[in-house]
Amino acid sequence: MKRTIVVIIAALAVAAGGAYLHRKKSARAGAGYSPAAASAQEISESVDTTGAVAPMNRVEIQPSAAGRIERILVEEGDRIKTGQVLALMSSSDRVAILDAARAMGEEQYNYWQDAYKPIKVVAPLDGTIILKNIVEGQTVGQSTVLFAMSDRLILIANVDESDVGKIRDGQRAVITLDAYPNEPVEGRVFQILDEGVNQSNVITYSVKIKPARTPSFFKSQMTANIKIEVASKRKALMIPSAAVTIGPSGDTSVVTELKDGKPVYAKITTGVDQGGMTEVVKGLEEGAGILVPGRTYKAQQASGTNPLMPSRPAGMRKAGRALH
């Protein structure tokens, strides 16, 4: 047990000593700059948000009478036309007659099957089966949901109230599903709902986006990252965001040069921030050189002693050097 404690203390001492040496090195690292230039780039302002795939119109199909499911003719994911038969079911009366006829023999059973036709469950619209909630032989009531259909899948984005004022019908959106990050899909905003939702004191509004195409991998309730382009593409003067700083007078500035080792600041007015680059509306011209502040590191020999490591007597140090 004692040996274990000693090992732990020694390890801690070594780690602490390393941290001590690191602090000494960091204190000696000087501030530095890397050169950059203001450049004209094509940009577009966008609102980034999240959302989910959802049916534009979701229809639940219920039976016209209580009874038993005899045959199911479709599966989830099938594309369906209006009026297509989805399933066959027997009403409660037909169930009773067929069960009694089955006991009387195959001939009677076949007769009543033909004489008393089953109920057809039909599709009310063109679309896709997104839910099959039954199995053959299941007894159902009139309130049982047999199937759910969607006419087409869209995206519903959750937009913060601070951004919803920028959203307009027809704006371009780029949709990236979490499940398929390398398969972006373009779409267009077509509806902004009027009623917001309060979640943890944050108000969001639902914005509906219609994809230009509906890929086969789209599934209802899939989550997505959505970028809505709220300003058309335009030329803008851009600089690295890391170059933007606060000057001595408290203004937004950049460092343009060093004089006698001291930075020279230029006041600027900034615009949109995009992908690590910031727009300069006023204060610089295209091609103007700037300095991006950073830290340079120069390897130095560690000096000083580690206060957590015991020092050896002078005689022992000399003996150690003699051995080498």
Q: Residue 303 falls within a domain, yes or no? A: no
Question: Could you give phi then psi for residue 276, rounded to 5 degrees?
Answer: 80, 5
Helices marked H in the chain — which ranges?
2-28, 92-104, 106-115, 161-164, 314-323
Task: Please tell me whether residues 167 and 51 are part of one structural domain.
Answer: yes
Q: Strands of 39-43's sheet, edge to edge?
A: 39-43, 234-240, 277-282, 269-274
Let me know whether 262 and 189 are in one domain.
no
If asked whether residues 188 and 162 sit together in one domain, one would say yes
Based on the domain organization, do 50 and 166 belong to the same domain?
Answer: yes
Within a domain: residue 20? Answer: no
Whether residue 69 sits in one domain with residue 51:
no
User: Positive or negative, the Cα torsion across 280, 283, 284, 285?
Assistant: positive
pTM of the entire predicted model: 0.56
Residue 216 lies in a domain: yes
114: in domain: yes
Q: Is residue 4 part of a domain?
A: no
- Same-domain pairing of 50 and 40: no
Check whether residue 68 and residue 100 sit in a common domain.
Answer: yes
In a domain, 104, yes or no: yes
Residue 124 located in a structural domain: yes
Using left for φ > 0, alpha for ψ between -120 and 50, and beta otherwise, residue 315 falls in alpha
SS3 281: strand
Domain at 293, CATH number: 2.40.420.20
Give the pLDDT of the chain (324 residues) as one tens digit per residue: 333 333 333 333 333 344 333 333 322 223 588 999 999 988 878 899 999 999 999 999 999 999 999 999 999 989 999 999 999 999 999 999 999 999 999 999 999 999 999 999 999 999 999 999 999 999 999 999 999 999 889 999 999 999 999 999 999 999 999 999 999 999 999 999 999 999 888 999 999 999 999 898 998 899 999 999 987 778 889 999 999 999 999 999 999 999 988 999 999 999 888 778 999 999 999 999 999 987 444 444 444 455 455 555 555 444 444 444
Query: Which domain, by its residues, includes 78?
Result: 63-145
DSSP state of 21: H
How many independent structural domains does the chain possess?
3
Looking at the structure, do residues 162 and 289 belong to the same domain, yes or no?
no
Q: Are residues 239 and 278 in contact, defined by beta-carbon separation less than 8 angstroms?
A: yes
Same domain (yes/no): 174, 195: yes
Shared domain for 249 and 206, answered yes or no, is no
Answer whether residue 314 is part of any domain.
no
